[in-house]
Amino acid sequence: MADWTTTEWAIVILAFLAGLFVGMMFCTGRKWKRRYHDEAKLRTEERKRLEELERSHKHHEAELIAARARAGDTTPRDR
């Protein structure tokens, strides 16, 4: 059997690495896609929750301003 040349070894190593890479893509594609969609869903839920909290905060702040106006307190308040 003849010895392998450097070029042949390079081809074998590149073929092995390409097969390894393609195999990893096929085996883990669904898992990562599912995780991405789960995370996107969590981001949308968190965004909705934040918007609801901001609306609630504005509502309570408006009620506080109205209560102060009814009480005759006109001095601005610093936070």
* pTM given for the model: 0.51
In whole angstroms, give the CA distance from residue 28 to residue 30: 6
Mean pLDDT confidence for 48-59: 97
pLDDT tens column, 8-25: 999 999 999 999 998 887
- pLDDT confidence of residue 33: 83
Model pLDDT, residue 59: 96
Nearest to 77 by CA among 62, 59, 65, 67: 65
Q: Write down the pLDDT at residue 78.
A: 59
Mean pLDDT of 31-40: 88
